[in-house]
């Protein structure tokens, strides 16, 4: 199981690198074409905008996997270990619920886009470009849920401090 997860994590990291490289190549290519040859591709700017979106959400999935997402932990530092673990369980569980709701809403958005039949560029349907929304929120929700479960297990394994 660990080997499969490592392969998936390396694949996830590789996709992020690929997204950034493609984004840079298209953006730089567009700049060179415009400045040196007074040409450009009409689809390049919208593609770069959507690659930024994909890169941001893909990076958010990786940050959540590595537990490097934004969190407010000023109060957590002063809590006893057992209470800190319980607090993290609730906050991560709440985050998982919020991300699951966003994933569900994004799925409805994708269905609406599919039914509308709009296209972005190069005759690519809008809904296909927006698939990152439910994917990222779904993955992040699962990761938050898994992390919450880990903290809950730690909470139950810890011994309560003796009362003075």
What digits encode the pLDDT tens for the residues 4-42? Answer: 999 999 999 999 999 999 999 999 999 999 999 999 899
Q: Is the pLDDT of residue 121 over 90?
A: no
- Measured distance CA(92)–CA(145) in Å, rounded: 7
How distant, in Å, are the alpha carbons of 71, 127, 132, 153 from that of 157?
Answer: 24, 45, 37, 6
- What is the reported pTM? 0.89
Instruction: Return all residues near 99 (Cβ < 8 A) that are at least 6 apart.
Output: 137, 138, 140, 141, 144
Can you read off the two tokens belonging to residue 89?
């369980």
**pLDDT tens for residues 36-93?**
999 989 999 999 999 999 999 999 999 999 988 887 777 788 888 888 889 999 999 9
């Amino acid at each position: 199981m660990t080997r499969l997860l490592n392969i998936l994590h390396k694949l996830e990291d590789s996709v992020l690198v690929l997204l950034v490289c493609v984004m840079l190549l298209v953006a730089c290519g567009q700049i060179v074409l415009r400045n040196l040859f007074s040409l450009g591709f009409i689809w390049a700017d919208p593609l770069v905008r959507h690659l930024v979106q994909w890169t941001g959400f893909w990076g958010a999935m990786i940050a959540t996997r590595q537990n490097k997402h934004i969190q407010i932990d000023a109060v957590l530092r002063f809590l006893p270990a057992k209470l800190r673990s319980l607090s993290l369980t609730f906050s991560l569980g709440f985050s998982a619920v919020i991300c699951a709701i966003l994933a569900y809403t994004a799925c409805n958005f994708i269905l609406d886009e599919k039914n509308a039949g709009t296209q972005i560029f190069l005759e690519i349907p809008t809904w296909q470009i927006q698939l990152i929304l439910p994917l990222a929120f779904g993955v992040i929700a699962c990761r938050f849920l898994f992390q919450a479960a880990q903290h809950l297990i730690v909470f139950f394994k810890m011994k309560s401090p003796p009362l003075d």
